[in-house]
Every structure is written in structure tokens, then in C-alpha cells.
Chains A and B, each alone.
Chain A
Amino acid sequence: MTPTYYLLLSALLFSIGAVGVLVRRNAIVVFMCVELMLNAVNLSLVTFARINGSLDGQVMAFFVMVVAAAEVVVGLAIIMSIFRTRRSASVDDSNLLKY
């Protein structure tokens, strides 16, 4: 297997995540799509580490995982608080601030 296929897979996963963020309506699902994007990046970091023959990319993937975990904590707290108020996590319902 050439590493290029992994890069293509990673680009595909990243695009699926990005499209998901744009079209899905539930804040939790939107957030999961963001996580998919981050993990797609991890795959390409690890692949590039393999191509470059250095370990930097793999170490970076660990950093990204930690950051993603921290982001989950903050994100779920925010989504939870708005869900408790509105009884809905739909991003379409948050429409008080506009124009």
C-alpha cells in the first residue's frame, strides 16, 4: 500500500466531517462531525510521519487527541446548558441573535 491512499482517505473523512457540520442540525452531531475532522487530520499526520520517516507527526497526533478531549468537555458543557434551557439541541432553534 502506498501512503497516498491514506492521505486520500484522510481528505475524504475531513470533507465528510466538513459537509456534516454544514448540513446537520443537531448541535451534538455537528460537534461529532468536527471531531471527525480532527481525527481525519490525525490520520494524515501519522501518514506524513511515515512518509517523512520521523516521529513528529505521531507525537502531534497525541497532542491533537488531548486538545480534542478538552474541547469535548467545554463543548458538551455549553451544549448541555442550552439544551436544559430550550429542551432542544437543534442549531436552528438558536436564532435570537441575528442581522
Chain B
Amino acid sequence: MNLLVAQAQQIEAPEIDYGAIAPLLIVLGAACISVLLEALLPKHQRWAVQLVLTLVTLVGAVGSLILYATSERPEQGVATLAGAIAVDSPALFLWATLLVLGFGSVLLIADRSVEPGGAFVAQAAIRPGTVQDRAQATKTGMQTEVFPLTLFALGGMMTFVASNDLLTMFIALEVLSLPLYLLCGLARRRRLLSQEAAVKYFLLGAFASAFFLYGVALLYGYAGSVKLSAIATAAGGTDRSDTLLFAGFGLLVVGLLFKAAVGPFHSWTPDVYQGAPTPITAFMAACTKVAAFGGILRVLTVAFENTQWEWRGVLYGVAVVSMVIGAILGLTQTDVKRMIAYSSVAHAGFLLIGSIALVPDGTGVSATMFYLLAYGFTTIAAFGVVSLVRNSDGEATHLSQWAGLAKRSPIVAATFTFLLLALAGIPLTSGFIGKFVVFSAAIEAGLMPLVVIALVASAVAAFFYLRVIVLMYFSDPAPDGPTVTVPGAFTTIAITLGAVVTLVLGLWPTFVLDWAGTGSFLS
């Protein structure tokens, strides 16, 4: 009791740097307003109002981010909210990436021209296969709760990459995951697959976050604090057993690698990517990847840099497993969405190489962040194209249905070819520059064998991208094959944004590379 009273007297309200966390506050605040609107507005107005609110929010958040980034701010960043949130150069870079990728995803989510009424179910409570379900599949209007859910997920991701202690990181992890579980189950067509994806993602995600949390508890026992810098200090010399440190680190990293869909923790990825509505798959593939690797980079750099010789071997192995699984299993896929999912597992392996290349000048971190940005834009555009190829019962994702697509729609086939080449890492695309900078950083950090394995894995992966290209250009289209929908403005903008950024970063990457390399994590 005395302890409690003594502590209560010491508590002071923490200083809050509102300018620094303005983007975060805008996104999360708008998410709350969006929930209210959902309750108050009549049904026919919701889609338009929610869409405008969401887009204005994202633009406003980017605006306040630019305002803060260009203002007078401390070079090494600030820790605000009692040290829970660190706003430093990498956090600002990742926030900007997340917001712009989120903007692209929201455009895909909002599109109602490709699928009348949008890609989302009109009423999630309707049982699949019933009369009401067949009626909702053709009726216009979609569950507009997807907008607040997307904003909450985005807010969670932004908190995740900036969190300076493990408790904040855990809360942010849940704030980003819980909306995603729900979003996965809201597809308008093939609802059984969609619901199954949601169940699988939810059960495995909850399992992984329990591991993450146990890791946090053990590290708290080790360091006496969950602050990343306190763990780094404790690892420098403490009387506690190292078992706590390494068991905690292992469990923590399992949770993080699960979210990032790396290597042996990838088993949910293909199922969820295939079952979820395609705009949500795009959102997950781009933004969740950025958030998860942002978190991994921060944890490894700030908390565990001085113990890297103990854990580097483990993550080395994980990166190899991830690249091999992604490249080999990608070869056997017959579904476009599953194929891109396995490609994302292989890409997660490449990203992990960059994350463990902790060289003193920070090129590993900046290279990985550049790769994340480049990969995110390419993936959003790729899933945007996937959503256009349709037949009477929704998207035609089976590879055989893509045969001869170039004859039906040369522009779509050409765009998809370009995006696949970017994923494969062909020069003149951002994928090549991304791989180049990550592998250079890895060589600098003495990870030569890993780079050789990565190059072999990219070559194997290039085979299954090229297979799709050959199929699109050199096969005859099936007579009852799918049609290519002419996209409305939203999907067109999202695909163009992704493709243009992929091209521009392939030709002039310097600007973004410089920006990614401007500062290091606040420790």
C-alpha cells in the first residue's frame, strides 16, 4: 500500500509533442469519427461520406507529416508520450510509406465499378448459400464498416513502426491485426473461402501474438523494463540469466516473423491471401509487410544490436528457409493470388537479409526500408490487376484462365508483365534497385553466402513470374475464358500509382534512397 501511495505522488503527466504524432492522431481520430458516422448516417449516404472522410484523412495525415518533417526538429528524433512513441527519421519514412500505400489500398477497397457494389459483402451476417446471399451478391451497396476498420488497421501499423517499448508494440500489433481478421472475412463472392481465411488468420494470429507477449514478459523479467533502450542497456551487463534474454528474444521474434509472413511462419499467407477480398489482400501484402518489417528493424537495431552475434545465425537460417520455401513452392502454384503470396514469402526472406545486415552506417536499415516501399507499390498494382480479370462468378484467379490474356487486353497484360518483372527484380524496375541495395548492405555486413543463396532463389522465383508472362502472351485464349473489366477511376489510379512508382524508382531511385538514409533509429 505504501508503495502504491509513494508511486502515485511521483506521477506527472507526460509531455506530448503533438506536432510529431499529428499523423497518428489524425488517422486514429478519423477512425473513431468514421465509426460514429456508421452509426448515425442513413445507409445510402455512408459509402460516399466514408470514402471522402478516409481519403481526406490520409491526405491530411501526409500533409501534417510533411509539415513536421520539414520543420525544425531534433536530428535524432523525439521520444514522446512518456517515451512510448519514437518519432525519428525511419519512423517518418515508414509513416509516409504506410500512408501512401494505404491511400492506394483505400482506392482499391472503395472501387465499385469492377464489381457492382464493391468487393465487400452487403451484410456480413447473411449466411452464404441462402436466398438472401444470392440477392446480396447482385444488390449494390457494401458493408461500409471496411473504411473505419482500414483506418484502425493503418493507425495500428503506424504506431507499430514507431513504438519505443514492447508493450506499445504489442497493443499496436493487436490494433493492426484485429481489423484485418475481420476484413479478410468480408468478401462478396466465394464467401466460404473468405470466412475460412478469416478463421485461419485469426487463430494463427492470436497464437502468434501469445508468443510475442510471452517474449515481452521474459524480456521484462530480464531487463526490468520493456523499453527497447533499457533492454539494450541490460544486455550490456546484468546479473540476470541470459536464458531470459534469449528465450524472450526468440519468442518475440516468432511473433514478429509471423506477421511479416517470413519463412517457416508463413503457413497462413497463401490461404489468407487467396481467400480474402483482393483489395484487402493488396492492403495486407503492402502495408502489413511494411509495418512488420518496420517493427523488426527497430527491435533488432535498438534493443538487440549489441547481442547480434548470438542471434544472427538463427535469423540467417530463417532467411534461407523463407527464400527457399517461397521460391520452390511458388513454382507449384496454379492460382495467381497464391503465387503472389509465395512470392511475398520469398521477398520476406530478402527483406530479412537486409534487416540482419546491421552495419554501423545504417545502410542495412535504409536499404530494407527502400525495398519495403518499392515492393509495396508493386504489389498493390499487381493485386489491382488481378481484380480486373473476371468471369461470371467473380475473379478468375486460376492460372489457366489467364492464357492468352494479351490478346484480350494488351494494356492489362503489359502492365502485369511489367509488375511481375519488377517482382522478379529485372533492371529498370524498382525491384532491381531494391534487391541491389539490400544485397550490397548484406555483403558489407559479411553475409556473402546468404546473398548467393538469395540470388539463386531470385532466379528460381523469376521462373514462375516468366511462366505467367509466357502464358499471357504465347497461349491461345480459351473460348469461355474470363473477360478483362474496364476499371473505373479508383482502380485505374491505384494501378497507375503503383506502376509509375515502380518505374520511377527503377530509373531515378536516388531521391528515395537519400531520404531513407537520412537518419537512424532513436535509441
Contacts and interface: CB of A to CB of B under 8 A. Distances in A.
B185 A94 contact: no
Nearest to A77: B182
Interface residues of B, number: 46
B195 interface: yes
Contacts, number: 123
Contact of B214 (A31, A44, A67, A96): A44
B214 A40 contact: yes
Given A82-B199, A94-B196, A74 B181 contact: yes
Contact of B200 (A17, A18, A52, A97): A97
A interface, size bucket: 35 or more
Contact of A67 (B170, B270, B271): B170
Interface in B160-199: 167, 170-171, 174, 178, 181-182, 185, 191-193, 195-199
A63 B220 contact: no
A45 B181 contact: no
Interface stretch (B94-102, B203-211, B410-418): B203-211
Given A57-B217, A60-B220, A81-B195, 14 more contacts: A34-B210, A41-B210, A48-B221, A56-B226, A57-B220, A74-B182, A81-B124, A81-B125, A81-B185, A85-B195, A91-B199, A91-B203, A96-B196, A97-B193
B128 interface: yes
12 contacts: A37-B214, A38-B210, A48-B217, A54-B224, A55-B3, A55-B7, A60-B226, A75-B181, A78-B198, A81-B185, A81-B195, A96-B192
Interface string A78-99: 1101101110000100101111
The prevalent SS among residues of A at the interface is helix
Contacts of B225: 56
B217 to A, nearest CB: 5
B506 interface: no
Contact of B210 (A17, A48, A85): A17
B65 interface: no
A60 B198 CA distance: 28
B370 interface: no
Contact of A82 (B170, B182, B195): B195
Given A63-B171, A74-B181, A44 B221 contact: yes
Contacts of B271: 97-98
B275 interface: yes
Contacts of A52: 220-221, 224
B332 to A, nearest CB: 8
Nearest to B3: A55
Given A34-B207, A71-B206, A77-B182, A94 B217 contact: no
A85 B46 CA distance: 28
Contacts of A27: 199, 203
B71 to A, nearest CB: 33
A41 B206 contact: no
A40 B211 CA distance: 11
A75 B202 contact: yes
B206 A97 contact: no
A37 B210 contact: yes
